[in-house]
């Protein structure tokens, strides 16, 4: 009798878990090693051999490629978009990290405010705002989202730490997966394998990992499902020699300006 009762209880538990965690729709992964282009500084028609294109969420994707929708998950967006620093200050000032004088803490390199994910309540409020942006990526027919600034805790003046980032991004990735979107981990090598195993990222996009000698954590977590951007010729050439033909590696100008701009730089390692 005890065995039968235990079995019945186990079945009930399994049924309960199944009911509370519905099966997620499948997500489409980018082609491993596929040539890609990074178009955040302005859009243009990609080369015919490019299979993967990254563009800002405010831009239209390229119809016959695998498209990744850039979203600044932990800092503010450029003006004049919804999500800009002025937009957050006007509509949700309590969700920005503040200095003692009440002014927002700003990333000095990009002049972006830092979103305050220090508590579960604030994380939920920020995610509710960003859900419509994630869903907008899906409606625009992007196949994936790139979540940027996973290292914002290093600029938050102690307001939150990397564990808060993990909790926020886990919920962010879950919602994107519910909408059928894959999610790229953008940089964040300090996450180690928790980016994939705990948060649930599907693949990675890295900047300067060769230049900063930090490519290994991404390879350990994602294998060859890593799309690598280098901004110096030396690092780019070294990357091509080390892993070209296996991983998709490009060199771009640091401002990622569009084709035709005098500062435009784009090179890709030969593929296998």
Query: Which tens digits make up the pLDDT trace of 226-235?
Result: 999 999 999 9
For residue 23, what pLDDT is reported? 86
User: Can you give the pLDDT at residue 16?
Assistant: 47
For residues 93-116, one letter each, b for 16 or more C-beta atoms within 10 angstroms of the residue's C-beta and e for the rest, the string is eebbbbeeeeebbbbeeeebbbbb
All structural domains of the chain, each given as residue ranges with its CATH number in brackets, are 30-268 (3.20.20.70)
Residue 134 predicted with pLDDT over 90: yes
Q: What is the pLDDT of residues 184-232, one digit of tens each?
A: 999 999 999 999 999 999 999 999 999 999 999 999 999 999 999 999 9
Cβ within 8 Å of residue 40, ≥6 positions away: 54, 55, 56, 70, 256
**Residue 150 confidence (pLDDT):** 97
Q: Work out the number of other CB atoms within 10 angstroms of the CB of residue 23.
A: 6
More confident residue, 78 or 231: 231
Tell me the angle at which helices 162-178 and 120-139 cross, rounded to the nearest 10 degrees: 40
According to the model, what pLDDT value does residue 12 have?
46
- Tens digit of each residue's pLDDT (9 = 90 or more) over 6-23: 444 444 444 444 445 678
Does the pLDDT value for residue 152 go beyond 90? yes
- Is pLDDT above 50 for 94? yes
pLDDT at position 21: 63
Q: What is the per-residue pLDDT for 13?
A: 46
Considering only CA atoms, which of 238, 255, 249 is closest in space to residue 271? 249
What per-residue confidence (pLDDT) applies to 24? 87
Spell out where the chain has E strands: 36-38, 52-56, 66-71, 106-107, 112-113, 144-147, 182-186, 203-207, 226-230, 248-252, 266-268
Which stretch, 14-18, 138-142, 244-248, has highest mean pLDDT? 138-142
pLDDT at 79 over 90: no
Residue 271: pLDDT above 80? no
Element (H, E) at 71: strand 66-71
Q: What pLDDT does 15 receive?
A: 46
Inform me whether the pLDDT recorded for 174 exceeds 90. yes
* Average pLDDT of the segment spanning 53-68: 96
């Amino acid at each position: 009798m005890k065995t039968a009762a235990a079995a019945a209880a186990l079945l009930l538990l399994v049924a309960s878990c199944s009911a509370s965690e519905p099966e997620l729709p499948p997500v489409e992964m980018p082609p491993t090693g596929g040539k890609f282009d990074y178009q955040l500084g302005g859009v243009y028609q990609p080369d015919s051999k490019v299979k993967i294109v990254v563009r800002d969420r405010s831009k239209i994707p390229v119809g016959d490629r695998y498209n990744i929708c850039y979203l600044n998950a932990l800092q503010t967006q450029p003006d004049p978009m919804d999500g800009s620093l002025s937009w957050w200050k006007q509509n949700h000032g309590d969700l920005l990290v503040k200095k003692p004088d009440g002014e927002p803490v700003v990333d000095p390199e990009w002049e972006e405010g830092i979103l305050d994910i220090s508590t579960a309540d604030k994380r939920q409020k920020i995610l509710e705002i960003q859900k419509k942006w994630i869903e907008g990526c899906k409606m625009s027919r992007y196949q994936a989202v790139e979540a940027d600034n996973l290292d914002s805790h290093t600029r938050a003046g102690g307001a939150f730490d990397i564990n808060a980032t993990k909790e926020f991004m886990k919920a962010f990735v879950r919602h994107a997966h519910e909408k059928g979107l894959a999610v790229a981990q953008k940089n964040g090598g300090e996450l180690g394998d928790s980016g994939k195993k705990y948060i649930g990222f599907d693949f990675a996009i890295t900047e300067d990992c060769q230049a900063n000698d930090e490519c290994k954590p991404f390879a350990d977590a994602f294998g060859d499902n890593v799309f690598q951007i280098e901004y110096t010729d030396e690092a780019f050439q070294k990357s091509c020699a080390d892993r070209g033909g296996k991983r998709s590696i490009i060199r771009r100008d640091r401002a990622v300006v569009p084709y035709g701009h005098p500062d435009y730089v784009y090179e890709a390692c030969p593929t296998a």
